[in-house]
Amino acid sequence: YDRAGLEKNISAGTLTLKDDNKDGSLKATGGDSGAGIGGGVNGSGENITINGGSVTATGGKWAAGIGGGVGNGKNITINGGTVNATGTDGGAGIGGGSRCSGEAITITGGTVNATGTDGGAGIGGGDEGSGEDITITGGTVNAAGGDFGAGIGGGLNGVGKNITIAGGRVTVAGGDYGAGIGGGFRGNGENITITGGTVTA
């Protein structure tokens, strides 16, 4: 309870997952209020980089799969590998825990499946949280928001802002009343730019 499966609870330093032999895997599940990978209770999951491997991350109650455990998820980068991230009870798949934001999330490659629940975005904010400064330049990305959450962007009542897609194959679906890309229910979608890739929203 209160702890992440693989915990990085402070902003200092970087947690990097890599797979030089191309056959590694990691499965991380948070306890209640803890992210699968990232922050424990009230902890921000910041400066997390995944370069390869097969990674499955599931948040505990109110937490993100990768990012905040009832805290913000910030500076999260995926460059490769196969990543499956699922938030729970208002947490984003990748980004913020319940009532918290997901910011500065970058995907350049790999296969990423991100699922939010109960108001959380697939990639971005948890319920009541914003999703900002999200950039996708490559890879295959499938993102689904929970009810009232965006696929990519804000959770319930959250803004989806400064979202850029410049490459890759991106398939997104908002939950009921949430945008595919942009704001969650009652949240604005602002500064969304698509310059390349194949995008289905």
pLDDT at 11: 78
pTM over 0.85: yes
Q: Which of 106, 185, 93, 181 is nearest to 147 (CA)?
A: 185
pLDDT at 42: 85
pLDDT at 94: 98
Residue 27 Cα distances to 35, 84, 194, angstroms: 12, 9, 32
Residues of the chain with pLDDT under 70: none
pLDDT at 43: 85
- The model's pLDDT over 149-183, given as tens digits with 9 standing for 90+, comes to 999 999 999 999 999 999 999 999 999 999 999 99
pLDDT at 23: 85
pLDDT at 9: 83
pLDDT at 89: 97
pLDDT at 114: 98
Strands (E), 32-176: 37-41, 45-50, 54-58, 66-69, 73-78, 82-86, 94-95, 102-107, 111-115, 123-124, 131-136, 140-144, 152-153, 160-173
